[in-house]
Structure 1
């Protein structure tokens, strides 16, 4: 059985709450890697939204999350089908 690679999680990752709605923002990359931060958002209903392209920095990933919230709202992460950005 193959081992899962160890991941490094950004300090910007964590719960994000707005207007009574909470999601988990996960920003991570393989441990020891330079750049290539992945962004995932998990809703209270376990809906998963994943961005296909990695970000050069964890800050850019978090800023993309904030831009999505400003544009579409947190409810956009509560979908019947998982989303990919």
Structure 2
């Protein structure tokens, strides 16, 4: 018996990498501004987080990737770029 190899419908690697980069920057800015607004870290140039607010922002970014990938079928940019595995 011979098995014929079928081409996999995996997305291109560049799509996955680009989706991760865009998701990272999107999450960084959104959660950074959100936490900075709540905890008073907004500046004229954007935001500055130190200590616990910075840790909270980082935890929200990690939660974004975990929740979206595990429970919602992919992050926002993975869905836009069709980079889901």
- TM-score by length of structure 2 reads 0.32
Larger Rg belongs to: 2
Bigger proportion of residues as strand = 1
Bigger proportion of residues as helix = 2
- TM-score by length of structure 1 reads 0.32
